[in-house]
Amino acid sequence: MGIWEQLYNPAFKPLEFERFKNQAGLNSFSLSPKKWIEATDAIGIYAKAGRGGGTFAHKDIAFEFGSWLSPEFKLYLIREFQRLKNEEALTTSLEWNFQRTLAKVNYRIHTDAIKERLIPSVLNKKQSVVVYASEADLLNVALFGMTAAQWRQANPDQPGNIRDTATLEQLVVLSNLESINAVLIHQGLPAPERLLQLNGTAITQMRSLVEMSTVKRLGNP
């Protein structure tokens, strides 16, 4: 209880807690919830007298107390914790895959805009691929600060490509950049101007996302 109070209760009195710890184990030592609360200003446990009363504790403390009383209860908690962590890992993986798919869909819109504005009709298929690669690298530089080839040179042993190693936040921003770049292409902006605008957008959006503890799960209000 004392450790919990030190973590979550700024008004907790640690000196009183130490005094109780030093007295624990003595035959004359006894400690009631009321005495504990009054002496330490504890908030994790409280006692209520009268009808419907009793001793109540924060769930963290209750779980710890239950684990101390019953090994079976402790094993049940461990099993539930592992199950929840596995579900969380699965959900995170699904979100990452969804954002990766979304990035691919937006890239199709992006490449359609390139066909209309950047690729003259006389270009052959090989030349068109070069243009696509340049636009992809423009987005890579705007978001990651390097081209795909530069990333490969810096990470020769890393599997996949620069976008496969992106975080969930980066994939969210990448999806937005591809849509924005398609609009800028339709507006006729040259690549250097688009790069500056996309880089500014990437910086702003990444700053907002990294300040969040997690990217808000899809479907949550």
pLDDT tens-place string over residues 48-78: 877 877 888 888 888 888 888 888 888 888 8
Residue 10 has pLDDT above 60, yes or no: yes
Counting residues of the chain whose pLDDT is more than 90, the rounded percentage is 1
Structure tokens at 22: 């030093």
Coil, helix or strand at residue 213: coil
Q: What is the pLDDT of residue 111?
A: 59
Distance spanning both ends of the chain, measured CA to CA: 35
Decide if 131 contacts 119 (C-beta within 8 A): yes
- Cβ-based neighbour number of residue 124 at 10 Å: 7
Decide if 209 contacts 143 (C-beta within 8 A): no
CA-closest candidate to residue 171, choices 134, 130, 218: 218
Residue 151, C-beta contacts closer than 8 angstroms, at least 6 positions apart: 140, 144, 161, 162
Q: What is the pLDDT of residue 153?
A: 92
Give the integer Cα–Cα distance in Å for 6 and 21: 14
pLDDT tens-place string over residues 133-162: 678 888 888 888 888 888 999 998 888 888
Structure tokens at 72: 């079976």
The 3-state secondary structure of 18-71 reads HHHHHHCCCCCCCCCHHHHHHHHCCCCEEEECCCCCEEEECHHHHHHHHHHHCH
What is the rounded average pLDDT for all residues in the chain? 76
CA-closest candidate to residue 149, choices 166, 159, 137, 158: 137
**Buried b / exposed e along 63-92 (16+ C-beta atoms within 10 A):** ebeebeeeeeeeeeeeeeeeeeeeeeeeee
DSSP 220: -
pLDDT tens-place string over residues 81-134: 888 887 777 666 666 666 666 666 566 555 555 444 433 344 344 533 445 567
Rounded to two decimals, the pTM is: 0.43
Cβ-in-10-Å burial (0-12, 13-18, 19+) of 171 comes to buried
